[in-house]
Structures are given as structure tokens and as C-alpha cells.
Structure 1
Amino acid sequence: MHTRVVVATVAAVLGTAAPLLSPAPGARAGEVGEAVKAGKVTAPTVVAHRGASAYAPENTLASIDKAAALGFTWVENDVQRTKDGELVVIHDDSLPRTTNVKTLFPGRAPWKVKDFTAAEIARLDAGRWFSPAYAGTRVPTLKQYMRRVEHNHESLLMEIKNPELYPGIERQALKLLGDEGWLDRGHLRRLIVQSFSADSVRKVHELRPAITTAFLGTPKVAQLHEYARSIDLVNPAYQSLSIGYVSAVHAFDGPHGKPLRVFAWTVNDTATARKVAGYRVDGVITNKPDVVRAALGSG
């Protein structure tokens, strides 16, 4: 952790929580785009949240195809498990919001992912709710999803969703990634595994220490030294951020000997993109990657 820990230690002693830290006077968000263009500031990595989910149904192959068509490399997804043990890509632990499950299986309330087989989920329409143009789009399995990401030459921020519902999902997901060739040195540069569960992230790190890992949330500054043992990134909701908190996170080295990074979510408008970039975040997770790119003048 070296001398940068001093910054975080001071913040912890002062008892500063993330929302209470105020931006530095010179970090005016409106200037970020020009600073990026001038080469004075490195533009944050832009991650397409659940794919380009403002323009195609979330967590589908169509959404990552749309991200690729817009020129974005990084996509984010959510992984859960079916009743018969198949890993699928879907955000909610229940199916009604993004599929027609109530129509096909009216007597199966509360329509939880874990209560349906992979074959049953494969029958669901995961696109019509978004737009008639996407009618017939399916919930992809993680294997299908990984093969499309590879085909598109994309990189992946993969969230293990609700791990408490799926014992052993970390080991299972890592096996699938390995089987698909994503745990070799080249692919590891294109992969981050994250979760809201610190225990789940810790398991991933213990099982495969070479993988880059992220915790979804805003740990207290005084706890960052503990998180830094097993995570490389802290990924908070943008509302909880400040330039002081981002600086405190950057003061710690993660398990691979590099400063912890910060990816902020979910940023969908110009003003917010410039604001969080002014905090010097390392990445921005967004449903509208094109809007964020234009806001930051990053190409």
C-alpha cells in the first residue's frame, strides 16, 4: 500500500464518509471534455451496462451487438443459475420484468429464475417488452454470451448476481470461463468479475487470484485496507461519490500491486458523466455509452 495509504488514513481519522467529501475547487466537471481532448486527463473507460441497454433489450446478445456497433469494447452483464444448473445472463432474480413468463407459465408465481429449467427459460421472449423490433429475443446462457463477446472482440465486466441464492456459483462460473478460454493471460486483460457480495468476490480471488475483481458498493475509507486484499476495483453508485473518496480509494494497492480503481454506475447523462469524470474515476458504467463518450470528448 506504500505511502499513498497516508491519504486514506487521514480521511479515516477525520471520519469522512464518501458523501461528505467535497470536490476540489479546480475540478469543474464542465472542463473535463476539453481536458481529455487536450491530453491532460485520461478519459475513463466507458462500460456498456447490460450491453447498450438504452437501445436494445438488456443482457441479451442484441444488446452487446449494439454496443459493438456503437464502437464500445467493454460490456457488463449479470449471471444467475437455473433450476437445473445452467448459468444464464439476466439481471433480476425473477423473470416477469423482462420476459413473457407470466403468459407462458401463468401458474408458476413468483417466477424466480432458480425455479425454471434452462429449457423453459430458453422459450421466453426477452425482447418484446423493450420493442416490437426485438420480439423473439432470448435470455442467453452464459456460454452463448461469452461466445458472442469473443466474436465481437469485446471485454467483460461480469457480475455474479445474488450469490446467496446459488451456492457454488463462483466456482461454476470460473469453470465455464476456463472452458471457453477466458482464463488465459490474454483474456484476463479483458475480464473483471464483480459482485455486491464481498464474500463472493473474495471466493473468486481465492479460486483464481489472477482475475481482476471488483466490489459493488462504497466501503468506508477505514475498511478499504481489508477490501484491498481481494479486490482491484471499488464500483459505487455515482451518487455516493466525491473527489475525496475516489482519491482515498486510489491511495490503496490491490492484490496485484496496483492502485485500486473506481468505476461509477449508472451514469446516463452529460452532466453526470462530466461530474464523475471530474472526480477522476477510472470508469463509467452506462446504459448510454454514446452519450457518455460524447460528454467526455473521448472519441
Structure 2
Amino acid sequence: MHVRAVAVTTTALLGVALTAPLSHARADEAGDDGPTVVAHRGASGYAPENTLAAVDRAAELGIRWVENDVQRTRDGELVVLHDESLARTTDVEEVFPDRSPWKVKDFTAAEIARLDAGSWFGSEYAGARVPTLEQYVHRVEHNHQKLLLELKSPGLYPGIEQQTLKVLANEGWLDRRHVAGRLVVQSFDADSIRTVHDLKPAVKTGFLGTPAVSELPAYAEFADQINPSYGSLSMSYVSAVHAFTGPHGRPLEVLTWTVNDADTARRVAGYDVDGIITNKPDVVRYAVD
């Protein structure tokens, strides 16, 4: 990155796809000179979010990067779910009517495995389950995809950073091939991301938010990416982020979320963002190609 013009020209001349860190691995995810497209919670515009079906739908659309959210059950299992409550995306209120407010942390993994995580989205997904992190990374690996993993509400789950890294290590996701270009761990919690970096410096990390430019030098010590919402972006902010070098010796990257329409995708692509996180990756990919 930031030999961007040279890289694009070389690719155009030689017809060779760039394959390295996230911002370089673009030829199969967008245009050779466009931002990487990341399927938010899988292709969640077309399948129930954070399920294996959403991962598969992203793969069917030719999307290499998927994003997910990780939380922890009462008995210590890591599961893939966005909300702190199970109520919105499962039938937990029917299965366990007396367990309000149905927090993930109050249920065992076996209890969560009983829940239907697909019917709310459409009858064709009835019976889809909340995957464990192990199940999720198995499917991502099977599909030859790459993973942008979010630690969700880590303050609720002390030690989740080390536990997540242990699961990833056990599943083969912390070898050189994965950490070089197939894995990023992100969070809204800066302390959590700093902890991931301290525990496993080789792993790329991202901070979700829009820190002030004056704060970027501190973030650049432990984060490789600054990942803001698209509404908070400007070209000048993206340029400011790119001016700093992250912990792996490369300019900081910018991935923006959650962009679901073509006009917004083209606008943020014009800011020179490195990636766009979206529920509708086919729409965004077509817009930025």
C-alpha cells in the first residue's frame, strides 16, 4: 500500500493479481485498483447474519473476505453472534420464555445450539444455528475465504482476546499464511485490540471508530487499520490515516462500514479507502469495479 499507483500500473501491465495484505489482495474482490469488499456478518443482505449460510452466500458471490462477531457463552464457548441478546436473530423467546433478557452470556453453548437462527430471515433458512467460532472458521477455511473477526463487547468477557487467539491457533489460523493475508482482528474497544497485539504481535488488528487525527500516532502503535463508519469519513481523514505507519511497518489502512448502496460505495471508494464492509457485497463490488 502506498506505492498504490505503481502497484496498479504494474498489475495492469503484467496482468498479475496482487496477493499480500488485505489492501493489496484486491484483484478477486473488486477492481485491481478498487477497495477490498468485505461481506458484513457474511452476505447478511441475502442470508441470516453470522450463520454458515451467510458465509456460503458470500462465497457464491465470489467474495473472499467475511466479517463476523464473537461472544462467549455462560460455560465459556465462543460463538458467532452480533447482539448481546439472542432475541433478535433466534427463537430464544419461544424456547426459553422465562429467561429474559436472553443475554448470550447467560446461556450455555448447548442451549444456544438448540436455537433456530435462520427462520427470522426467511423460511428457507429454518433450522440454521448459531455457529461456534470453531465451526465458523472451518467453513471460512473450506471456502478459501479470509476473516475479519470482531471481538464484540469484550468488556463483558474478560480474557476473550487470549481465548479467541487460542481457538484460532488450534484451528490453524495463526500460521504465517493466515496472519500474512487472511486474518484481521478488530474491535470498538481499543484496550482489547491492544491486548490482541501484545499477545500475538504478528496478527493484524483494526480499531472500529474514528479517532481524532491527533490520536492516530497512539493507535498506530497497536492497530494496522482504522475502520470508521462511512458517515464519519472524508477524503482528508483517510489521507491523514494513510500518513501513519502501523505496527507492521505499513501505512495504516481504512476499512469503512456499513455501505449497502452503489452511490455511497463509489463515494467512499473515491476517498481511497482500502476496504468497504457491506451487507450486499455484490452491489458494492459492481459499483467500485
**TM-score under structure 1 normalisation?**
0.86
Q: Offset at 1:73?
A: 0.4
Give the aligned residue type for 2:86.
L
- The equivalent residue for 1:160 is 151
Is 1:58 aligned to residue 49 of structure 2?
yes
CA distance in 2, matches of 1:129, 1:221: 41
CA deviation profile, 1:66-122 (whole Å, cap 9, x unmatched): 000010100000000000000000000000000000000000001000000000000
Of the three residues 65, 80, 83, the one matched with 2:71 is 80
Tell me the equivalent position of 1:286. 278
3-state DSSP of counterpart to 1:234: strand
How far apart in 2 are the matches of 1:256 and 1:186?
A: 15
Which one has the largest radius of gyration?
1
Instruction: State the match for 1:254 in structure 2.
Output: 246
Q: 1:238 and 2:225 equivalent?
A: no
The separation in 2 between residues aligned to 1:264 and 1:193, in whole angstroms, is: 15
C-alpha displacement of 1:204? 0.1
* Percentage of matched positions with identical amino acids: 69
Aligned-partner SS, 1:75: strand
What are structure 2's unaligned runs of at least 5 residues?
1-29
Structure 1 unaligned spans of 5+: 1-35
Corresponding residue of 1:296:
288
1:62 Cα deviation after fit: 0.2
| 1:48 aligns to 2:43 (yes or no) | no
Tell me how far apart the structure 2 counterparts of residues 295 and 146 of structure 1 sit (CA, whole Å).
29
Deviation, structure 1 residue 187: 1.0
Shift of 1:186: 0.4
Which runs of 4 or more aligned residues in structure 1 lie more than 2 Å from their structure 2 counterparts after TM superposition? Answer: none
Q: How does 1:214-233 map to 2 (within 5 A)?
A: 214-233=206-225
Using CA pairs under 8 Å that are at least 6 residues apart, name the structure with larger relative contact order, 1 or 2: 1
CA apart distance, 1:266: 0.1
Structure 1 residue 287 displacement after superposition: 0.2
Write the distance in 1 (CA, Å) between the matches of 2:287 and 2:243.
27
Q: How many residues align?
A: 259
1:58 is matched by which residue type in structure 2?
E
1:295 maps to amino acid: A
For 2:231, give the aligned amino acid: Q
Matched residue, 1:127? 118
Output the CA distance in 2 between the equivalents of 1:198 and 1:164. Answer: 11
* CA drift at 1:213: 0.2
Give the alignment partner of residue 263 of structure 1, picking from 237, 255, 264.
Answer: 255
SS at match of 2:245: coil
**Comparing 180-189 and 191-200, the one that deviates more:** 180-189
Aligned to 2:129: 138
* Residue type of the alignment partner of 1:143: E
Corresponding residue number in structure 2 for 1:205: 197
Q: 1:264: how far off?
A: 0.5
TM-score, normalised to structure 2's length?
A: 0.89
User: Of 116, 137, 141, which aligns to 1:150?
Assistant: 141
Distance 1:82 1:179 in 2: 19
- Tell me whether 1:94 sits opposite 2:85 in the alignment: yes
| Residues 149-190 of structure 1, C-alpha deviations (whole Å, 9 max, x = no match) | 110000000000000000000000000000001000001120
Q: 1:181 aligns with which of 172, 189, 204?
A: 172
Are 1:113 and 2:104 matched, yes or no?
yes
Inter-partner Cα distance in structure 2 for 1:212 and 1:125: 33
How far, CA to CA, are the matches of 1:91 and 1:165 in structure 2?
13
Query: For 1:130, what is the secondary structure of its paired residue?
Result: coil
TM superposition shift of 1:296: 1.1
1:70 counterpart = 2:46: no
